[in-house]
Structure 1
């Protein structure tokens, strides 16, 4: 089902599912469940935790926000996956669904990449419970403040075609199924890429 293209049938253009949302909303958990559902359906894909693409300290003087190194790392990893015939990518990162990130994915994955944006949402109460349940050490208070601030930012800045998926009080299996529905990857059209972004 997820086979790469051959000389007679060119590989499908890349398609990326961006899963964004405030800290504590469940991005990583949902992404891994979505990957499990794709595996169960024998649909080829790759998954990247975007938070790890720029984890270096101190940041380079020429790249204080780590955007350049993030893009370079993403391009390098995607090149390896694409050489295996993969054309679907699940990418998680809080702000990855903002419109200004699109050029990064076009440069790293290719100009014909199709982008599906999903914003996971949850209440302050839910995310507070989830974050305090993690081991965040000295970063907890900062993480709680950043989560609330980024929730407000995402609410007003995401593109109009972003799919919003509520996570409060729901099973991860159901959330992931709804997220995947937005991509079309699990339908009979095996490319599931839709129109270019």
Structure 2
């Protein structure tokens, strides 16, 4: 039996957070590709999609409830590792809520992706259309400062400026210890 096929004792979670435009989703897809290439069983959940509605249902804990439901489905199929992306997923209180939604006290690796304001603005301009770009850039600047100040010291900081996605993902995967 290969190491990647062995069942781990505890569930394991990789939380990837960071401002809009830092590359969370892109890095997560590359992490997924790397883990898949070496047959490490895992699932990938984009947290932004768990409570995307109007009016916003945040006060009802919908994202956490949806995460718990999705994770239960993955667990029923034997998955024990999750890669989860969301801007705020590296704040202490949010991590607590996400870990509670996963249950069974998973082993947690948390990564805060960082980049300069100019890099985030350039990336956002490449994907945002319409009138929301400037508002998105400003909100991203404020969130970057908040993330930097409030994410716990034990959360790994990984810079994305001037780096290839494959190199960033390799660093993030290395932090998990999930590779055989």
TM-score of the superposed pair, with normalisation by structure 2: 0.93
Task: Give the total of aligned pairs.
Answer: 178
Q: Which runs of 5+ in 2 are unaligned?
A: none
- Structural RMSD (CA): 1.5
Which runs of 4 or more aligned residues in structure 1 lie more than 3 Å from their structure 2 counterparts after TM superposition?
Answer: 1-5
- 1:121-174: CA deviation from partner (whole Å, max 9, x where unpaired): 111111111111113322211110110000000111111111111111111101
Structure with greater proportional helix content: 2
Q: 1:58 to 1:126 in 2, by over 3 A?
A: same
Matched position secondary structure for 2:5: coil
- 1:20-62: CA deviation from partner (whole Å, max 9, x where unpaired): 11100000000000000001111000000000011121235xx
Matched ranges for 1:57-136 at <5 A = 57-60=54-57, 65-66=58-59, 68-136=61-129
Q: Which runs of 5+ in 1 are unaligned?
A: 6-10, 189-197
Matched position secondary structure for 1:16: strand
Structure 2 counterpart of 1:193? none
Q: CA offset at residue 66 of structure 1?
A: 4.2
TM-score of the superposed pair, with normalisation by structure 1: 0.85
Matched position secondary structure for 2:50: helix
